[in-house]
Structure 1
Amino acid sequence: MTELLEAEELRLVEVAPPAIPAGTRAAMNREWAEAVLANPALFDGPVVLCAGLSREGRDDLLVSWSRTTYRYFALRRVPGATVLRSLFVSVIQPTDDGRVLVGRMSRSTAAPGRWQFPGGSVEPPTGDEPLDEGALRRHAALELAEETGVDVPATALTRCLITYGDDGQVGVHYLAPSLPAPVLQDRFDALAAAEAARGRDPEFDRIVFVGSPPELPRLEGPHVVYLEPVVRWTSRRVGS
């Protein structure tokens, strides 16, 4: 089950990374090596873990986070291991007729065939830069551009929703300005063609425009757990 949350303010606080016993770490490294053999496109880059989510007062939310790399998520394959989940951002890109853009992850990604909104796991800041709302918004705008070819200023994105899953995964969702569906399709097609010319797979291999939850079963393949409740929410807010 995915809980949908709204907040006036969102505060992010860094905490120490989780301790991993030596034996568990060795098993994690073995699982990661096997995963890379199966999918050489996997990259052990920096990523943010969500260590906790709590209310601050009545209207605000606090996210506790820590630093790790993608290798950490190989713990999911280690029996008995405790695994924190990632903090991610996504962008709800509406059309001017009230539908929203949903993409299918390509074969070279960590989740081929999965349907989701444009977005991805948050990366930790470098140097003295803070991980704050501005950083999340910039990351969301970057994901939208890289996955769909739709380039909008980060300041044009509005935080509209926070999702909290049973597995502890927290998603921060931003609403983009609406655009006509043909414009969105043209920008995606241009991006996909440019990636193909470079000999690379795009992160999405297909996009569709969805107006309501009953349309989702037509999308063959797995869906992210938050997709149905967020589409339901957007169909009431964006499509109204």
Structure 2
Amino acid sequence: MTDSAVEFFDARALRLLEVPVPPLSSEERAAMDRFWEEAVARQPALFDGPAVACIAVENTGDELLLSWARVTYRYRALRRLETCSWLPASVFVTVLQPVEDGGLIVGRNSGSTASPGRWALPGGSAEPPAEDGTLDLAALRRHAAQEMVEEVGVTADPEDMAVWGVTRGEFGNIGVHFVAPPVTAGLAHKHHEALVEAEASRGAAAELDQLAVVRSAADVAALGHCADFLPQVVTRYNTQRTLPAA
């Protein structure tokens, strides 16, 4: 997919509605399980944990309604089918972490992740709440802040993180992007280095093995393999720092 296929939603508010998982035929389910087992054989670190699937998006202009369902990661294997009754789009969060002298922090996924070598903003797939819980904007904001701690080592108060925008990209994946208060590039690198060392000391690998600061789409292109939304997000950030989302 080229970055031109990434769509921005400029609604002023975001509402999330839980809906049932669309049914699969027996053939689709069998194929999904087979593809998932093949993926795990290639990359044993994969796990079939809980995930959020975007079922539908409705944009009224003032409000973006995102209908979602509880699935597991194996549902993404349905994307390999030539035809399927529904496309399992993912919901993920990212953090636009500005640095004080300009630019945004991006990281390269390590070999322990599902997309090794890919550059992206810090973030991750949204997780469904407990059965009696609610997936809302506050929950996504908390998850985004948690991803910053786990991937970069930088702590930010979720209440200080504003919704910057929502994108739809490859496979219909929905990204909810937050912007955090600025930090110095040196501080971000210092915290990340400490995080990498701490993970290595316990025999594990950090999710991001390298950080960089990007200030333009050209900077992104120079990095190589990157998330589909990244060039457009960086370009848009430079011209429109915040979106009026609630």
Q: TM-score, normalised by structure 1?
A: 0.95
Contact 1:104–1:116 (CA<8 Å) still a contact in 2? yes
Contact 2:95–2:122 (CA<8 Å) still a contact in 1? yes
Partner of 1:108: 112
Q: What does 1:1-240 align with in structure 2 at a 5 Å threshold?
A: 1-56=5-60, 58-81=61-84, 82-165=86-169, 167-220=171-224, 222-238=225-241
Contact 1:6–1:160 (CA<8 Å) still a contact in 2? no
Structure 1: segments with no counterpart, 5+ residues: none
Separation in structure 2 between the aligned mates of residue 76 and residue 53 of structure 1, nearest angstrom: 19
Q: How far did 1:55 drift?
A: 1.8
Contact 2:118–2:227 (CA<8 Å) still a contact in 1? yes
Q: TM-score, normalised by structure 2?
A: 0.93
Separation in structure 2 between the aligned mates of residue 217 and residue 231 of structure 1, nearest angstrom: 11
Contact 2:11–2:59 (CA<8 Å) still a contact in 1? no
Cα gap change, 1:124 to 1:27, in 2 (>3 Å): same
Q: Figure out how many residues of one structure are paired with residues of the other and give that number.
A: 237
Separation in structure 2 between the aligned mates of residue 146 and residue 128 of structure 1, nearest angstrom: 26
Structure 2: segments with no counterpart, 5+ residues: 242-246
Contact 2:170–2:228 (CA<8 Å) still a contact in 1? no
Contact 1:98–1:235 (CA<8 Å) still a contact in 2? no
Q: How far did 1:46 drift?
A: 0.4
Identity %: 44
Amino acid at match of 1:47: A
Contact 2:221–2:231 (CA<8 Å) still a contact in 1? no
Separation in structure 1 between the aligned mates of residue 226 and residue 170 of structure 2, nearest angstrom: 16
Listed one character per residue, the Cα deviations across residues 113-141 of structure 1 (whole Å, up to 9, x for unaligned) are 11110111111110321111100101111
Listed one character per residue, the Cα deviations across residues 182-231 of structure 1 (whole Å, up to 9, x for unaligned) are 000001111011011111111111110001111112113x2111001000
Separation in structure 2 between the aligned mates of residue 109 and residue 12 of structure 1, nearest angstrom: 27
Listed one character per residue, the Cα deviations across residues 43-100 of structure 1 (whole Å, up to 9, x for unaligned) are 10000000111123x3211101011000111112233234221011100001001210
Amino acid at match of 2:140: L
Separation in structure 2 between the aligned mates of residue 184 and residue 6 of structure 1, nearest angstrom: 29
Separation in structure 2 between the aligned mates of residue 93 and residue 151 of structure 1, nearest angstrom: 11
Separation in structure 1 between the aligned mates of residue 124 and residue 231 of structure 2, nearest angstrom: 17
